[in-house]
Structure 1
Amino acid sequence: MNGLTPNSLSSEERGRLLDVSDSESDRDNAINLAAQNTSVPKLAGILSPLDSVRSVPWRVLALRFAWFLVPSFLQGRSMREKIRPAKLGPTAYLDGMRGIAALFVYFCHYLYQCYRIGFSWGFEGNYNFMRFPFIRLYCAGPAAVCVFFVISGYALSYRPIKYIRSHNLADFATGLSSMAFRRAIRLFLPTSISTFMVVCLVRMGVFEWTREFATQDTYLKESREPHPKLLPTAYEQWVQWGNIIFGGFKVFSWEFYEGFHALDPHLWTIPVEFRCSLYLFLTLLATARLQTKYRFLTLAVIAFFTYANSRWDFLLFLSGMALVEWDYIRGAHISGPALPFGEKEAKTTSPTASIKLIFWNLVAILGLYLLSSPDHGGLETPGWVYLWSLIPKWWATEQYRYWQATGSVVFVLAVGHLAWWQRVFNSRVAQYFGKISYSLYLMHGPVNKVIGYHWQKLVWDITGVEGNAYTVGFILGAFFCIPSVIWAADVFWRAVDIPTVKFARWFENKLIKVD
């Protein structure tokens, strides 16, 4: 048996989407990335002048540790090829899309404390070019979260739908069981480690270095995130951490923004991902034996019920499941490996192909426009008044999610038909951010508060915080803050995220009953 056996990993759990020819060696290469990084490429050449150092074990370990801290994209050609293999699967572009979305979430959280980024072009007479639809997507965090959820639904459904359509229910059952068992480990073990690190830094007093900065509207002029508090005793601090981790498993609550607020408010999506994953597994199980048309009909009924209850999060997971099956029906994953960035397919000149190309490009533009929906003030914003008036009155909470969620589904659907968009997301940069996307999501909050605030204050104390000097200082600070966050995410990816996937597989294999 292959595919979703206990010894295989779902695409979502590996942090990348599956290739059609997903061989066992490919899986081992992806999973053993961190272990291989501990041995330095061509280390003998680097250390040959240091014979005396090599004879001292602790110094060798120190050098290896220092090399491990070097960003993966600077560790030589072999490492770069592991980040982005020469041969990409037909769904690799979705991994790149997720990576860019993760980067945009970070930009949102970096910018929104200093600028009003939730409003769109024309609101209250503000015609700043950076707030124009499409342009503002670079810091549209809520829209990026919608894209996350569509891709998560797609990735988690990818192999189950494949087995359903091939009537291989034995592998389907084994695989779904494995995915459901490992899902909590995949989501919460890295999260537990990242928040554990936060608590350690809090107890060491590191967060006190930037606490004053974090509370002053002189620097953070728009919003201020909660700074982790130093509790009176270590016991209280660790009890708080334990309660926060336990709170993340609230599968019986549909409330948003629960669980991790005291340590890292950005992690509210992790419990949501967990809940929606479990409900998606249940939906896959319930519809596995149905004919395709009845599976789509059942999915539509569930989606309508979800829509009527304003559950945009689970609706996006269901949309990802529907897109997977649609892609299988139209043969999107049997045409061969994806083209790397910069390479082009042979041009087709038929009128039908040209019409389809124009149509799907227009659909992609529509999706991007809907993703650009403002977070606030849509009824007073040019270009959005009519669309916001169409939002149902019963969609009372987070109305801005309505069109952003719609846009995420439309855009992902369109990109599946557009080779040039896929090449963009298959580029080295996009694929790199796809690999570190989960680590970037976990690391950007704490690193920004410990390192980013420090750099930003240092620069603003030089440039000043009035008028254009404020923006100049912000931009200069970004040259230090952004690389710091990316570096931390890169290290966390290799040190924690990849080993977590390997551990989840090992742990499951240890518990499997041998008949």
Structure 2
Amino acid sequence: MNGYAVSRASLSHEEKLSLIDDRSLSDVESESARIDLEGRFSSIQWASTAKTYCNGLRLSSWASSILKTGIFLLPSFLHPRTARERFRPEKLHPTAYLDGMRGLAALFVFFCHYFYTAFLIAEGWGRNDANYEIWRLPFVRLLYSGPSMVCIFFVISGYALSLKPLKQARSRSFDGLSQTMSSFIFRRFFRLYLPPLISTFGVLILLRFGIYERTRDFANDRKYIHNVMEHHPVLEETFRKQFWHWVREMNDFIHIWGWEKFGGATGYDVHLWTIPVEFRCSMLLFLITLGTSRLRTRVRFICIAFLMWYTIRNDRWEMVLFLWGFMLAELDIIRGAHDPNTSQSSSTPATLLPLEKTPPTAPQKRGSCNFLWTLISIPALYLMSAPDAGPDGVPGWVYLGTYIPEWFSDKYRYYQMIGSIIFVFCTARSTSWQRAFNSPIVQYFGRISYALYLMHGPVMHTIGYQVQKRAWNFTGTEGCAYNWGAVLACMFNIPLVIWVADVFWRAVDAPTVKFAKGLEAWVSIDE
């Protein structure tokens, strides 16, 4: 029986908590993360449910195995055990809104990679007196703005990885801090790299079975692919050559010794270049966290501010986002955002100015603060809407583009970076945004976010391309018919990717988290 076939009765309280600490892309590690275990674990108890059904129906072993597999392949939100529980309000931890934000970001990254093969989505609205489609407008384009969502990923990662260590440092719990940092550093490699190692090995298997060959011609056919032609994995002559090619690719994928753009990108899934970036930035963040843990708060802020200036001046925008996540986490600790004594509930945290410690007592003041931070988030979203093709020739962005430093290489990321920082800052103080990100469907995407990030590429290059080809053969590829074909394909491909991500989350992503924790417990020195 595998990790997901274990019943709740056989798990200790500590084991249950350990299974949910590292559930998604940014590896949230908050000591305040105490969720409703019964509601969360019921969504993955497929094996015990299947066993009950099989015993009741007295099925043969083969029929039993088929039924178990069929139940497991159901999306978690359609699982029989959760059918009666889907509409129960779930107790959320104070930073659950970050999970939801990350989930939507992963979904929008998928939309970016899905639509940029067919449409020119990088151009801004009105660029050079052209491109006046409504989906190019600011705010609307965030639905498929992958680079902006990557900025959100990195800010959330910096926040999530800093929150617990900062709490321990501020409470002078340095022994606990040492244990936490040791655990984070040991498990970070497994958390980030095990799932993509498994997903890319799955791509290898699909290659050897010829699944990718069915769509190779489509992937390079300008009749269907009007914009970006993504790299299609290469089929080697033999399985032996294919395996060693994958091994070399995975060695390059780890990529801890370089900082070049898209370093570590693998031909088995070109979308995964952010994973090595996450790992490198995480390791640097852990070093900075340890190095500043005994400093006074003001001195630590000065040091972090200097490091951010030095980092951005050296064109390392990704590390700046991690450092800002660190800074935002400490600001929230200072204002008591995660303290149950200073917030009304997990869904309505205090909406205070950054350095205030006493919550407002009047509901009117809380409402006015919420409105203020929600209002400030609007220009932040506008900055996140910076066109990926750059500001040149785009109304409203031509002027802003003049303020981008010459030494900043990725011009389009400059305002996306600033906007993502401001948006996370405002969301931490806006109950309206938090209610939106804490809604059940958004929280669901938060749970499967890493799996969604890993699965959308392989699914699209195999079944997805076949669906698109058939859709365009049905509607035609000229003029508006091409657009209708894309819409028709979306109706099947988007649910397909979500379904596969759901299965991968339960089969691979969550078990690898448990594996990393179990391995750490096994090899660590007992106190």
Please, what TM-score do these two structures have when normalized by structure 2?
A: 0.89
SS in 2 for 1:127: coil
Go from structure 1 to structure 2 and tell me whether the alpha carbon gap of 1:473 and 1:98 turns closer, same or farther (over 3 Å shift). same
| Superposed CA RMSD | 2.6
Residues 13-22 or 276-285, more deviating? 13-22
Q: Which residue of 2 aligns with 1:243?
A: 248
Measure the CA separation in 1 of the matches of 2:229 and 2:319: 29
Partner of 2:356: none
Q: Deviation string for 1:6-36 (max 9, x for gaps)? A: x95795555574666445x967986x67862
Distance 1:200 1:228 in 2: 12
- For 1:88 and 1:17, the matched residues in 2 are separated by 14
Partner of 1:343: none
Whole-angstrom CA distance in 2 between matches of 1:78 and 1:13: 19
Query: C-alpha deviations, 1:216-268, integer Å up to 9, x for none?
Result: 01001011101111111212211111112111222220112233431110000
1:86 aligns with 2:90: yes
Residues 285 and 323 in structure 2, CA contact (< 8 A), matched pair in contact too: yes
207-216 or 359-368, which deviates more: 359-368
Equivalence map 1:15-30=2 (5 Å): 17=28, 21-22=32-33
Map 1:214-233 onto structure 2 (within 5 A).
214-233=219-238
Query: After the TM superposition, which residues 320-359 of structure 1 pair with which residues of structure 2 at under 5 Å, given as runs?
Result: 320-334=325-339, 335=343, 337-339=345-347, 350=364, 353=366, 355-359=368-372
Alpha-carbon distance, 1:77 to partner = 5.6
Alignment match of 1:428 (pick from 430, 436, 440) = 440
Matches within 5 A, 1:357-368: 357-368=370-381
Alpha carbons of 1:306 and 1:153: their partners in 2 closer, same or farther (altered >3 Å)? same
Summarize the alignment of residues 262-277 of structure 1 with structure 2, pairs less than 5 Å apart. Answer: 262-277=267-282
Partner of 2:355: none
Q: In 2, distance between residues paired with 1:230 and 1:8?
A: 39
Kept after mapping to 2: 8 A contact 1:84/1:431: no
Alignment coverage as a number of residue pairs: 498
Shift of 1:358: 3.9
After TM superposition, give the deviation of residue 90 of structure 1 in Å.
1.3
Look up the SS of the partner of 2:392 in the other structure: helix
1:192 aligns with 2:197: yes
Q: Write the mapping of 1:230-309 to structure 2, written as runs, cut at 5 A.
A: 230-309=235-314
Matching residue within 382, 398, 413 for 2:395: 382
- Cα contact 2:18–2:514 (8 A) shared by 1: no
Is contact 1:41-1:76 (8 Å) kept?
A: no
Higher mean alpha-carbon deviation, 260-269 vs 93-102, is at 260-269
Match of 1:441 among 420, 431, 453: 453
Q: Assess, with a 3 A threshold, how the Cα gap between structure 1 residues 159 and 505 changes in structure 2: closer, same or farther.
A: same
Identity of aligned residues (%): 46
Provide the secondary structure at the position in 1 that maps to 2:48.
coil
TM-score (ref. length: structure 1): 0.91
Displacement of 1:93 in angstroms is 0.5
Q: C-alpha offsets along residues 341-397 of structure 1, whole Å, 9 cap, x if unaligned?
A: xxxxx99564x55653443123200110000000114121001111111000011x2
Mark the CA change 1:173 to 1:93 in structure 2 (over 3 Å): closer, same or farther: same
Cα distance between partner residues in 2 of 1:133 and 1:58: 55
Per-residue CA deviations over 1:96-131 (Å, capped at 9, x if unaligned) read 000000000000000001101111111132211111
Task: Please tell me whether residue 157 in structure 1 is matched to residue 162 in structure 2.
Answer: yes
Question: How far apart, in 2, do the equivalents of 1:506 and 1:306 lie?
Answer: 36
> What does 1:466-485 align with in structure 2 at a 5 Å threshold?
466-485=478-497
Contact 2:97 2:438 in 1 (8 A): yes
Kindly indicate whether residue 63 of structure 2 is the aligned counterpart of residue 68 of structure 1. no
- Range with bigger deviation, 78-87 or 433-442: 78-87
Aligned amino acid, residue 174 of structure 1: Q
- Tell me how far apart the structure 2 counterparts of residues 36 and 12 of structure 1 sit (CA, whole Å): 19
Paired AA for residue 360 in structure 1: W
Q: State the match for 2:112 in structure 1.
A: 108
Offset at residue 158 of structure 1 (A): 1.3
- Matching residue's letter, 1:121: W
1:27 to 1:18, Cα distance in 2 relative to 1, 3 A: farther
In structure 1, what is the Cα distance between the partners aligned to 2:173 and 2:105? 34
Task: Write the distance in 2 (CA, Å) between the matches of 1:34 and 1:513.
Answer: 34
Distance 1:439 1:178 in 2: 23
How many Å separate the matches in 1 of 2:29 and 2:345? 11
Matched to 1:106, the amino acid is F
Structure 2 residue 31 is the aligned partner of structure 1 residue 36:
no
Q: Please say if residues 154 and 317 of structure 1, whose CA atoms lie closer than 8 Å, have aligned partners that are also in contact.
A: yes
In 2, the alpha carbon distance for the partners of 1:79 and 1:491 equals 17
SS at match of 1:38: helix
Aligned residue number for residue 385 of structure 2:
372
- Residues 292, 84 of structure 1: alpha-carbon distance in 2 compared, 3 angstrom cutoff: farther
1:451 lines up with 2:463 in the alignment: yes
1:118 partner SS: coil
Partners of 1:349 and 1:443 in 2: CA distance: 44
State the 1:188 CA deviation.
0.6
Query: 59, 65, 68: which one pairs with 2:63?
Result: 59
Match status 1:414 vs 2:426 = yes
The residue that corresponds to 1:509 in the other structure is 521
**2-structure distance, mates of 1:420, 1:151:** 19
Structure 2 unaligned spans of 5+: 1-12, 349-359
Encode CA deviations 1:471-513: one digit per residue, 9 max, x unaligned: 0010001011111100100000000000000000011111112
Deviations 1:160-210 (A, max 9, x none): 111111110111100100010000000110010000000000011110011
Residue identity matched to 1:432:
Y
Contact 2:30 2:163 in 1 (8 A): no
Q: 1:41 to 1:331 in 2, by over 3 A?
A: farther
Distance 1:86 1:286 in 2: 38
- 2:415 corresponds in structure 1 to 403
Shift of the 449–466 alpha-carbon distance from structure 1 to 2, 3 Å rule, reads same
Separation of aligned partners in 1, 2:199 and 2:84: 25
2:122 aligns with: 118
Q: 1:26 to 1:410 in 2, by over 3 A?
A: same
Whole-Å separation in 2 of the counterparts to 1:113 and 1:358: 39
AA aligned opposite 2:402: S
Single out whichever of 435-444 and 371-380 deviates more from structure 2. Answer: 371-380
Q: CA deviation at 1:83?
A: 11
Query: What is the SS of the residue equivalent to 1:379?
Result: coil
Matches of 2:18 and 2:168 in 1, distance apart?
A: 14
Q: Which residue of 1 aligns with 2:212?
A: 207
Q: CA 1:47/1:246 → structure 2, altered by over 3 Å: closer, same or farther?
A: same
Q: 179, 182, 188: which is aligned to 1:174?
A: 179
Distance 1:274 1:19, change over 3 A: closer
Which sections of structure 1, spanning at least 5 residues, go unmatched?
A: 341-345
